[in-house]
Structure 1
Amino acid sequence: MRTLSEKAYLSMFYVIDAYYSVHPTDSVGSLLSDLSPFIFKDSISADPAAYDDFCDCFAKTAKGREVDDVDVGYQAAKSFLQFYNDEFGFELENLIRDFSYEDYKKAYHSLK
């Protein structure tokens, strides 16, 4: 069974992946390759530091509580994307602007 932060992380990944299929950019593609849960069998992320960064955003958003709330996951995802945009120079402004709550909610509820 997935932890709530894993569920939120995977939901974010699926939304970004769908966005990239319509709006491919180098920055979003590079981010997806770091976030991919499909590269290594024993890891949720190709770059474990990316998942750690997401977990930090999730914990701050959830205020230290592990809560099953789509709103917390969505806000953590937006915070994570802003962090990667600001700290690492990924050009994610359009993705951040277009990151849909409805798409996130669908992805979140589709995961067990």
Structure 2
Amino acid sequence: MYSKWRYKRHFQKHVEENYKNRINKPVEIDFDENSVNAKDFTSESKINGTELKELIETKDHFFIKLTTDLSLIVPKHSIENQTEFKKRVTELGAEYVDELNWEWK
């Protein structure tokens, strides 16, 4: 029980310290025919559709996992049409993974 609390606190502090300038900053994601374009306050990225590995859906988020095992985390509340979003990402080549019952243990 203590370990769970300790690890969770450790990683929360790590993220807050190392990513404090990136948390709660808006990011714009657009889809082209063959790529995903991401734009934030410091940079722009273009990701080829062939680099998308999985689209993982949880209760509150979508995770777009890349072949490099990095992930784009997209909160569901920020997407107007979730069905269209899933369709668009899977059309680019990502495999859909349903993890709606996943919970932190």
TM norm structure 1: 0.26
Greater fraction helix: 1
Structure number with greater Rg is: 2
TM norm structure 2: 0.27
Structure possessing the higher relative contact order (Cα contacts under 8 Å, 6 or more residues apart):
1
